Structure 1
């Protein structure tokens, strides 16, 4: 077995250095484009603030940490929206599902469970999280069944769901805000106490780095075993170094953001000590970010390593052919919307925990940002094309645009909506151009 690109002279007649590099490393050119756009947004906002506002605040550990936490709930739902859009459907109800699950979780842990278990019982937050995810899954299954077995278009079913579930959330508590939530539950939303600290972050980084190296070694072994062409060794080393390097940089950034002085004072007062002059306690990775990473890994495995994932792409490529080949497209539709609902319920957990309350505004307009994140991340509205990592990068792009506009003084929601809308239209246009080029 020989490495690919063994004859550079022959390849060089048709490809330039960039083309040969991309072919050897097997990096998706669209991924490079998305990452490049993200970096331009970050650098652009930072330079603008540096030149016109007297100091760049975007590329700081504090802002990047907050950016990662803010991306978590949208990114989690975007991974499910990828499956929905790949199969040529749409789900406009995810924001309302976040709202209704968040409201019922608030009622459950603040007003209902304490009556039977007692205030602050350690099982309250566990029951609440399970309840929220299951409730979201049941709502998704109901909508998926209507789409699959009653032949009602997904647009209409989920548009109705957008209105219905938002109304149910309001009626559940008569428009009241439910707070504060269980203390342990609130940690899921992030914050100084909702993170794993510096030591835990470096341990997690070491595990993740070992996982990257294991995946590359295992992948090369599988290629050799099945007779597939191998990547050049330099490409393998490059990909391993890139993965480990990105993990190390991300870990350094989250560990460079210290606890605020007020939290430090509260922490040391609880220990009965004075705050040391050189006190520095890192946030580390926040729980919402860890949840997002776990969801992304599981969804990637689901889409690329299972029969379920192959069926999703088959349905998106040609629904009629998929049905004729024996795929139960109706059952698949129900499963996909059930999964989407469960992920929306999980996002409701993070959202309500982060706010330390359940409000009627929870999840408002999230459906638009989730759909936009999936599309900006390369998921085609024509169906059959999409990636999990692309959706997460798309979510990061949108959240970066919102955060950056606030930091440079354009905090009005109207400006943010204009920018997000323009980004969505541009992403669809670029997808059209990309598909034409493939033809």
Structure 2
């Protein structure tokens, strides 16, 4: 595939550090074509408008609403994730696509719940390495073990659930000390205020159940259940032989075989407790809208929509999707446009970051920059070195890939609602959904159109 660069005046920020975790000093580069001041051919803008004019922000917003409010948190391997997959498949079929479902296994994990004696639920995560409980759970009094030092335990800890604060030394040592004291279970609460429980690394496996709760949850238990000698019920079980799935829709070119392939991808799962409006109902909704719009136009390249599961547990869905591509399909794949967290309304997320694993420009980023110049994209586009989303799986297979994601320029910070129960539709911008759809949609169409 030959790519002719179009005039671009958008500034390109390229991260020149090997680290993919933090922002670094950047270098601003302007393409030669932009420097020459060439004009955009009117026919290119007309092609852009064929896509842009049909992208509907209200439809995308309603899809975000359905995924987050009707379905809710879509944790990998759960019924809710399956419901989201069914929703996506049915929508794509309604557009006339032949849809493939790729089912794959996911690692076993621990799940659980925690309730007070008056049936108040406390948010809890169960770290890998925790033991299980009987089917009915364990009901016991709490023991205030402070930071979980050996000296913090007394004989009274035996048979009780140890309530331990984060801090000073490792989670594994805290759990080991609780077991030595005869505790029936362990609850570790945070020492900083966060909306959702952390996921501590505790080592193990252990024979007793271990859970993580928020600072607010721990303090509430100290003030109520422990102070009044009430009991709590902790239930932990292993989630085994679970499955997730990818939903794939393909638009074949009007003529020819073995043509180039362009992939559009987005993950539809979320983390526990998070409705996942931004992460990643937003990317899913935009991809669904692009599937609707692009279905009707003649193309001379193959277009594949990959809605992937199990992103939040380590890019499992996209890795599986790419692993199922033949050598010929990989060779024909020229681009991956991945969308993750593109619709946040957080006022500081004024830039669309184009994350590449190596921090270098590629066909996808260059196409997006050219498109942004033509269509007048309001947000700054920033090229950035970063993994942590499904574009990694495509990059590792040698396919040019970019993750489009909104961040705060300069700091590269994500919205404060990220991976929390506050990731709701109230923090989604219909205008930014539209902006992402226009940018990615027009970019993709410029590559595949007949």
Shared fold per TM-score greater than 0.5: no
Interval containing the TM-score (normalised by the shorter chain):
under 0.3
TM norm structure 1: 0.27
Structure showing greater relative contact order (alpha-carbon pairs closer than 8 Å, 6 or more residues apart):
1
Q: TM-score, normalised by structure 2?
A: 0.27
Looking at secondary structure, tell me which structure has more strand per residue.
2
Higher relative helix content: 1
